Amino acid sequence: MVKKPVQYSVIDAFTESAFKGNPAAVCLLEEERDEEWMQNVAMEFNISETAFLTRSTDSINHDSPRFHLRWFTPVAEVNLCGHATLAAAHLVFTSGLVKTNIIEFLTKSGVLTAKRVDGLKKLNPSKSSNDKAEHFSIELDFPTISVTECESTEIPSIPGTLNGASVINIKKTASSDLIVELSSGKMVADLQPQFEELLKCAGSGVIITGHAPHGSGFDFFTRFFCPKLGLNEDPVCGSAHCALAPYWSKKLGKRDLVAYMASPRSGRLDLHLQEDTQRVLIRGEAITVMMGSLLV
C-alpha cells in the first residue's frame, strides 16, 4: 500500500523574523507512522527538532481540539520541547485546522496547552499601507522543572569553554541538564564553546546563563549546548526555561521575566511563573519559512 505524502512546514520559533529564532520541522500525519520512520525523518531534516502532529480522535469529548505531539532531535526522541511545540501550535492556528484560540497537545510530558494571543496589526513594509498582516503570539502552558544542588563529581570542568569566565553558581535540573551561571550576560553571549569538553560533562546538556546587561530590556541571557543530543547548540530552547524561570524568579524576586537566548540566531521568550501550580507560561512568536511534502 502506497503511503500518502506527509505535509510539513519548517517554522522559526521565538522570533518574528525569518532565519532567526529556532527552526522546527512540523509534520502533519494523517496515518500512523512508526518510531523508526520518525527518527529517520528527523535525521533527514537535521535541525534541532522535528515534531510529529496527529489529530486526536477524542477531541470531541473536550472543550479544546487535541493533537498527539512527539519531538525528535536528529539522534533521539525527547520528552519535552518548547520551540517545536510553539511551531506546531503556529501551524495549527494558521492552517485552518481549528477555529478556537486554545488547543491541547498530548505528549510524553502530559497535556500541554497552547493559546493564541492576538496583538496589534502590523504593517507589511513591502506592501501598501492598507495591506495589514495579522500579528499574534502563542502562550504555552508547561510544567516547571526543579533545580537542585550538584554533587562534586557532577560539576563540569570546562576551562577551554569558559576561558576564564567567572562562574557564580552551578546547579542541575530534574531533566539532567546542568545550569552554569556566569557573572554577566555578555560573558554568555561571547562564549566560545569547546564541544569536546561539553560532551564529557555529566549532564545531557549544559545551560549557560547570566544576568542581562542593564538597559537591554531583558532579565537574563542564556545559551544551551547539547552535543549529546545531536546538535551542538540549540538556538532557542523553550524547555530549558521550565527550569530557568523558577531559578531566576527566586534570584530576582519577580514572577514575570523576559529571557533572551544569545545564540547566533537569537530569540525572545516572555515568561510568567505560576508558583502555586508549578507551571510556567512561555510566550513567543513564530513564522513559517518553508512548506512541502515528504514522499517516503
Where in the sequence numbering do the catalytic residues fall?
49
Q: 127: which residues sit within 8 A by CB, 6+ positions away? A: none
Rounded CA-CA distance 197/107 in Å is: 32
How far apart are the two ends of the chain, measured CA to CA in Å?
12
Q: 80: which residues sit within 8 A by CB, 6+ positions away? A: 71, 107, 108, 109, 142, 175, 239, 242
User: DSSP assignment of 2-71, as one string?
Assistant: PPPPEEEEEEEES-SSTT-SEEEEEEEESS---HHHHHHHHHHH-SSEEEEEEE-TTGGGSSS-EEEEEE
**Residue entry with cell 501550535:** 89
- Give the H or E element holding residue 113: strand 110-118
Neighbours of 92 (CB within 10 A): 23
Burial class (CB in 10 A: 0-12, 13-18, 19+), 271: buried
Neighbours of 247 (CB within 10 A): 23
Comparing C-alpha atoms, which of 113, 114, 124, 68 is closest to residue 94?
A: 114
Burial 52-76 (b: 16+ CB within 10 A, else e): bbbebeeeeeeeebbbebbbbbbee
